[in-house]
Amino acid sequence: MTTEFKQSSNWFTGHISNLIASHYCRKATCLIIVILVILYFIMMFLYPWFVGDWEHVQKVWARWQPLNAAMVAFAASLIAVAIVRNHEIQNHKRKLRSREAIMPVLLSELGDYNKQLFDFWFELHEKLGNGTDTFNRSAIPERPLNRSIEISNSFIEYLEYAEKLHADKLAQVLIVLQYLTARTESINDTSLGMNVARIKSYSLSQLLELTKMRVEIGHFFEFIRGDVSEINLGPITLRQIESAACQFQKFDSNIELEIKELAKKDYPN
């Protein structure tokens, strides 16, 4: 758990830092350019007209001819940069669209794995409730990112091309998935025998975390399918948790009520 979680957290932190730094650098550069252009226009065109006649204006332009030539060249370079930038934006949109086309398959993989983890913790929670403190370790589901390197690469490519807020949200979901997986794989007979009541409470908290992940995956599905124009980036509500818990179809148990009661402490209606 520790190594993978630290690596993922470090990558996520570095990714966010680079995005913030590049964003503010672009904003500062644009602001400086705008200020300089405004000052040039005032001093080269407006001010000479107010302090002299047409002959004075021509003398000012002649005196500052090298600067004027440089400004013309600078304007031409800005136009060229704008054309290149527009081409890059269009290319970026095409690449993002191609990544979005495969996202339903990737989200389906995540959803299936989320369900498998929920089933594992649900079975463990039920066994502990019945007084059983052993479990079948072979029942721990295999990580989807281990089953196919293409899945990992596809997620990475989407994170590179997606909008910042969307990429941040998906990165958070993937990081949570990794530490939930690590917690699952760290469970063993020894830890169960130490304190059954504590492990039972712990298993319920994992079921709540997996239910919350179900909500987040659902938000991405809605966006990718085109049901909504923007991913829901707001806080998770209790109603959403209730709805997601129903999707696991554990109708013959009280697990939905237990998850709801646990969620009531921290989530609004």
Looking at residue 169, what is its pLDDT?
A: 83
pLDDT at position 135 is 61
Position 232 scores a pLDDT of: 84
What's the mean pLDDT in 183-188? 78
Which residue ranges make up each domain of the chain? 102-263
Predicted model pTM:
0.66
Band of pLDDT at residue 200, cut at 50, 70 and 90:
confident
**219 C-beta neighbours (distance < 10 Å), count:** 20
The size of the chain, in residues, is 269
Cβ atoms of residues 166 and 147 within 8 Å: no
What was the pLDDT predicted at 252? 64
Least confident of 30-34, 182-186, 202-206, 252-256: 252-256
What mean pLDDT comes out for the span 12-36? 65
Rounded CA Rg of the chain = 28
Residue 248: per-residue pLDDT? 82
Give the whole-number percent of the chain exceeding pLDDT 70.
79
Q: What is the mean pLDDT of residues 67-78?
A: 85
For the ranges 14-23, 63-72, 140-149, the one whose mean pLDDT is highest: 63-72
User: Is 143 within 8 Å of 8 (Cβ atoms)?
Assistant: no
C-alpha 79/C-alpha 199 separation (Å) is: 64
pLDDT of residue 238: 86
CA 21/CA 26 separation, integer angstroms: 9
Q: Give one DSSP letter per residue of 107-124, joined into a string.
A: HHHHHHHHHHHHHHHHHH
* Residue-level pLDDT at 11: 46
pLDDT higher than 60, residue 19: no
